[in-house]
Amino acid sequence: MTDELSKKASSATKWSLVTEVVVKLISPLTQIALAHILAPEAFGVVATVTMVTSFADMLSDAGFQKYLIQHEFEDTGHLYRSANVAFMTNLFVSLVLWLLVGIFNEPLAALVGNDGLGIVLIVACASLPLTALSSIQLALFHRTFAFKDLFVVRVAVALVPLVVTVPLAHLGFDFWSLVIGTIAGNLVNALVLTLKSDWKPSLFYSFAELREMISFSAWTLLEQFSIWLTSWMGTFIVGSLLTSYYLGLYKTSISMVNTGMGIITSATTPVLFAELSRRQGDDESFQSAFFRMQEKVALFVVPLGFGIFFYRDFVTTLVLGPQWSEGSLMFGLWALSSAVVIPIGYYASEVFRAKGRPKLSFASQVAYLLIMAPVTYYAATLDFGSFALYSSLLRIVAICIDIFILKAFIKFPVGKMIARLAPIFVCSAVMIVAGWVLADFGIPTIAGIIACVVVYALCCEVFPSTRAQLNGILSRFMR
């Protein structure tokens, strides 16, 4: 079973990576085009709208997606019955939430700093019923490692903003172009996933099935709520204390970094969770699969984060344009902190969920939130540069909390994990020193970036672990 599972995970990772590369080649083109057409204020408005709609999405999903992936079902019939109950519940909740947003649209808009734009919230929430369906379909594809089938779906959705949002922005629709593009993308996603899926929604419903799902999903929902709070707390504070301009700088900088690094993380995290869920009863096999994926991801994410930070001014101007230059520090610091957060913090959460212990992830998020909220508020009262620095440093606090919980409650070999990641951080640090020396000698930026990549690759050949990982990945994708 283990060998077969490893083969499925390896194939799924390859297809997921191919998908993410194609999607992330399309998405940044859209973002770059929009950044040159729209002002930062437009992105600021949409950021606060997205904060509300993402909260509603999280409530409507109710944690069922993680349950459908992690739980061991008796047979396919049991799985499909649970999927149908999850969908019907999600759909009902999403429609109720949409109605509530319609009733309280203006107070909600004022709460997030968009006075007079309640109608935008109502329109944006049209996505809620669509994501109620697509989230269930996506969970079923992930459970069976069917990432090859998701290639067409993801590419189709990625093309929607390019053919809808950008033309509307050119026509002067301002932030409405972003809202309409998001709805169109969610519609395409739901339709294509449903057409390709073996499971189709029906009128079947069972409160017995619902009770079985709630025991796991209730804690998962609390976990997702805490993640939503920590993810959007900065947006809420910036939207309340600063202007839409700075909110646009903040959210767009984060979005672009996440988009770039998402080529790797989005390709690997769903596969890792599905594989770990199948191995949850075998600690040795579980840890082996975790370390294997973690090292592969860190091998690319860590130097990428270090490099973006060092060349932050160049990257910000290149990607977003000169009007976004004030956001370069936020851009660089978020990338640098992501180099640590992604391979350790993100994957620690996957361990908690795959082990069926979302309570631990919830506890981690609450502990972090108690520190993060007051510090973020204080930082926002200073200036945007200080806010960028504090926001990034706080993410390291979250890592410390995750490491403590991994060690204390999962009995995970944290020391072994850090030792295996250390060579990658050393090679990335050597790369940055080389970049600093080259810049000091006046070497052009492009030449410096290429030289940094070469230095990093050569440094990886020095350590046996990084050499084996890098050469293995290269040989696999050159077949």
Residue 215 exposed, middle or buried by CB count within 10 Å (0-12, 13-18, 19+): exposed
Are 279 and 289 contacting, i.e. CB atoms less than 8 angstroms apart? yes
- Among 88, 90, 123, 130, smallest CA distance to 109 is for 123
Tokens at 449, concatenated: 């970036």
pLDDT in tens, the chain (479 residues): 445 666 666 666 666 666 666 665 666 566 667 767 776 667 767 766 777 777 766 665 656 877 888 777 888 888 889 899 988 988 888 898 889 988 988 888 887 666 777 888 888 888 888 887 788 888 888 887 777 777 777 778 778 877 888 888 888 888 788 888 888 888 888 888 888 888 888 888 888 888 878 876 777 778 778 888 888 788 888 877 887 788 888 888 888 888 778 777 777 777 788 788 878 878 888 999 899 889 989 999 999 999 999 999 999 988 888 888 888 999 999 999 999 999 998 888 888 888 878 788 889 989 999 999 999 999 999 888 899 999 999 999 999 999 999 999 999 999 999 999 999 999 999 999 999 999 999 899 999 999 999 999 999 999 998 988 888 776 665 55
| Whole-number pLDDT of residue 175 | 79
Q: What is the pLDDT of residue 397?
A: 93
Cβ contact 215:187 at 8 Å: no
* pLDDT number for residue 182: 83
**Buried (b) or exposed (e) across 440-475, using 16+ Cβ within 10 A?**
eeeeeeeebbebbeebbeebbeebebbeebbeeeee
Give me the long-range contacts of 49-52 (CB less than 8 A, separation at least 24). 49/112, 49/114, 49/117, 49/120, 49/121, 49/124, 49/175, 49/179, 50/124, 50/182, 51/112, 51/232, 51/235, 51/236, 51/239, 52/101, 52/108, 52/112, 52/121, 52/124, 52/125
**Model pLDDT, residue 337:** 95
